[in-house]
Amino acid sequence: MLERKFGAAETGVKLVSGHIQSDNRELLESQERNFGDIVYNFRWMTNREMNLMFDNPSLYAIHYTAYASEGRKYVPWLAKRLEELGANFVRKEFKSLDEVADQGFEYIINSAGIGAGKLAGDDDSIVPVRGVIFEVDAPWHKHFNYRDFTTFTIPMTNSVGLGTVKQVGRHDMVITDEDRHDIWQRYLELHPQFAGSKIISEYIALRPERREIRLEKQLRKSSSGKSYTVSFPL
Ligand SMILES: Cc1cc2nc3c(=O)[nH]c(=O)nc-3n(C[C@H](O)[C@H](O)[C@H](O)COP(=O)(O)OP(=O)(O)OC[C@H]3O[C@@H](n4cnc5c(N)ncnc54)[C@H](O)[C@@H]3O)c2cc1C
């Protein structure tokens, strides 16, 4: 347990409770099947709770408690731990996995996100899913609050993450006023108390998506004759 052993302030990993609402019961049932027995306090909310707690309740809602990590704390913490254990980080753009192997690496884990297929040379099935998230000054908000996985807030240490869009196939990396209006208006409908909250920062990125998980290991030989093993957690 990272939080218990190393502390939430260091790792950015902490327990958060909250709810997901939807008019699509099957969507929530799939969450129950996927992680209902892994998270804590998983339960279906009653109509009474939903009517008291939410301004525009959906038909169904689930509640649970789970660990959430803040990437901008967790990733540097993890990198530091790995460096202490002898790992070296090098930033460099590679044109192919052969090029990586030719630098002397025998084992390669291809985790290059939307660039992973191009790097592998044999996979054009990874598509970008454009996402936008705002960091909002609302430290009073302590529960994650979702509608249908696209409209949400997640409490962070001193602020709240509010999102998002999930635009399949879009590569453009500039946040538009249309994004801002769409996300804000959807979230305010879910949770009007956020009206007037200040945006501290804005973030845009492309999620890598693949119809099916690719989990395999290949033995390859580079064009210069070097043998190497590559694994694909794509
Ligand atoms: C707005 C938004 C909100 C999100 N919220 C959540 C959330 O709450 N919870 C959650 O679990 N997930 C969330 N995600 C999804 C999560 O961020 C991604 O699933 C995750 O980042 C994917 O990690 P990855 O390491 O596979 O790919 P990436 O994070 O895309 O990393 C790939 C890396 O490979 C590098 N690379 C690519 N090609 C090359 C090359 N040719 N040579 C060298 N390097 C290369 C890239 O520069 C990059 O650093 C969110 C995503 C977005 C956009």
Average pLDDT over residues 38-63: 97
Give CA–CA dist 168/151, Å, rounded: 16
| Distance of CA 146 from the midpoint of ligand 1 (Å) | 21
Instruction: Give the model's pLDDT for residue 234.
Output: 66
Cross-sheet strand order for the sheet of 215-221: 107-109, 227-233, 215-221
- What is the distance in A from the centroid of ligand 1 to the CA of 205? 8
Q: Which atom of ligand 1 is nearest to the CA of 154?
A: 8
Residue 108: closest CA among 225, 224, 220:
220
- For residues 203-211, give the mean pLDDT: 94
Ligand 1 pocket residue status of 119, Cβ below 6 Å: yes
**Averaged over 187-206, what is the pLDDT?**
96
- Per-residue confidence (pLDDT) for residue 2, from 0 to 100: 86
Residue 123 confidence class, pLDDT cut points 50, 70, 90 = confident
In the chain, the percentage of residues whose pLDDT exceeds 70 is: 100
DSSP 86-152: T--------S-HHHHHHTT-SEEE---GGGHHHHHTS----EEEEEEEEEEE-TT--SEEEETTTEE
Q: Which residue has the tokens 């956020």?
A: 194
- Calculate the alpha carbon distances from 196 to 185, 192, 232 in Å: 12, 10, 45
Q: How confident is the model at residue 196 (pLDDT cuts 50, 70, 90)?
A: very high
Helical (H) or strand (E) element with 154: strand 151-155
CA distance to 90, 174, 233, per residue, from 106 (Å): 16, 38, 17
Residues above pLDDT 90, as percent of the chain: 87
pLDDT of res. 124: 85
66 lines ligand 1 (CB under 6 A): no
- pLDDT tens-digit series, residues 9-42: 999 999 999 999 999 999 999 999 999 999 999 9
Q: In this predicted structure, what is the pLDDT of residue 50?
A: 97
Whether 133 has a pLDDT exceeding 70, the answer reads yes
User: Ligand 1 in contact with 18 (CB < 6 A)?
Assistant: no
* Pocket of ligand 1 contains residue 207 by CB under 6 Å: yes
Residue 91's pLDDT is what? 93
On average, the pLDDT of the chain sits at 94
What are the pLDDT digits (tens) for 166-177?
999 999 999 999
Q: What is the pLDDT of residue 172?
A: 96
The pTM of the whole model exceeds 0.75: yes
